[in-house]
Amino acid sequence: MRLLRLKKDRKGQFIIIATLLISIMIISVASIMYGAITYFRHERWEEYLSVIDAVRTNSHRMVEISLANYTLTGNQAVLKSNLEKWQRDLLETYAGLRIGLTSSLTNGTQDIYNMTVQYNMGLAKDWNKQVSFSAANVTFDLNLTSVGLCGYKFITPVFLKMNIIDALYFESSNEVGVRLTVQREDLIPITDLQAANFIEFQVDRENKTFTFHHYFDIQTLNTFVYELRYSSQTQPSSITTTVSVVDSRGIKVEGNATLNVT
């Protein structure tokens, strides 16, 4: 009887252990499958986010290129034409995602970066002043219908501003220095321009050879300054200067100012 009872106890223990092992295996498989599904979903969303980021970045670059073309050629329709090409290219590049990008060109008057800008077909320029600028502005709507993303809106302003500040006379070197600032979107100072970026420098309608200086003026202006110096044996009381600059994106702005020389 004792032997029979022992066999029965062992058989019951085996059934319990086997049941536990099966339960552990089911939980492990479920955990692995859940992890795989979650990972797949995460990877897919990473792909979608990278697509959205690429579309935003390249849309901004396309607006920059269009503004550069406009400031150099005066072609008012270039932004509209480039947008249409860009939208067609996106459809071909991301055909599997069923992507759609629409755009709205800014028209009329808008205040931006402390300036009043008159846009026409998304483009604007206000030149030959002491404070001059070139600007573009487009509103985009992005749809990724394959994942149910609709109406993702982003605005792409592009801006280049030049402010001709003042003129100083350096008696030790017999030079007049014209000082100016150059800023981009959000009025961020541009600090990487070189002498070659200043494609025109005139004083009293005469082209001038200049020496190039750039520095952060912490004493009076508290901003990054460019200074174009030309030779002058005497100190003029005032000058009228014209300056044209092209930034690293190819965007041009031209300014003109009459300044007292101090």
The 10s digit of each residue's pLDDT in 180-219 is 999 999 999 999 999 999 999 999 999 999 999 999 999 8
Residue with tokens 């090409």: 85
The residue type at 158: V
Residue 121 tokens read as: 């077909």
Give the domain ranges of the chain: 37-157, 162-260
Residues 6+ apart with CB under 8 A from 122: 63, 79, 80, 105, 106, 107, 136, 137, 138
The CATH fold assigned to 162-260 is: Immunoglobulin-like (2.60.40)
> pLDDT class for 54, splitting at 50, 70, 90?
confident
Amino acid at 30: A
Instruction: Give the β-pairing of 149-170 and 211-217.
Output: unpaired
Tens digit of each residue's pLDDT (9 = 90 or more) over 109-133: 999 999 999 999 999 999 999 999 9
Whole-number Å distance between alpha carbons of 250 and 164: 20
Handedness of CA 87, 88, 94, 100 (dihedral sign): positive
